[in-house]
């Protein structure tokens, strides 16, 4: 099965489980802060929508703060609790996606 199809299938499953809760990784915290929203690694975000952009950007999502502020981000920029719906599939996607990005970056530099 090709990558884009895998991403599309997982995206569909995630959409059926929305909204989901997640926490930001350090990079995402910095982006929120630059936009004037002083969150921390412990700030719970609500995922309100997901979209597969294929192999280019992977799975993207919209996250929302309690104050209603929304931002799009990569699914790899989120940390999920073990009791999250689809946890194993999401973490598997994240690990494979990060590895794939590293491989793409390495081959792109040659």
The C-alpha atoms of residue 45 and residue 7 are separated, in whole angstroms, by 22
pLDDT tens for residues 37-94?
A: 999 999 999 999 999 998 888 999 999 999 999 999 999 999 999 999 999 999 999 9
Length of the chain measured in residues:
110
pLDDT tens for residues 5-17?
A: 999 999 999 999 9
Which range of residues forms the domain containing residue 14?
3-109
> pTM (2 decimals)?
0.90
In the structure, what pLDDT confidence band is assigned to residue 109 with cuts at 50, 70 and 90?
low
Per-residue CA distances from 28 to 85, 103, 107 (Å)? 22, 22, 26
Domain count, the chain: 1
| Whether residue 100 has pLDDT greater than 80 | yes
């Amino acid at each position: 099965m090709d990558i884009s199809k895998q991403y599309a299938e997982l995206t569909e499953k995630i959409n059926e489980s929305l909204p989901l809760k997640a926490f930001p990784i350090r990079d995402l915290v910095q982006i929120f802060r630059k936009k004037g929203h002083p969150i921390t690694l412990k700030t719970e975000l609500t995922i309100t929508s997901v979209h597969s952009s294929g192999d280019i950007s992977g799975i993207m999502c919209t996250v929302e703060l309690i104050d209603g502020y929304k931002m799009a981000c990569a699914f790899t920029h989120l940390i999920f609790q073990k009791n999250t719906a689809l946890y194993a599939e999401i973490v598997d996607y994240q690990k494979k996606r990060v590895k794939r990005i590293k491989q793409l970056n390495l081959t792109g530099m040659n």
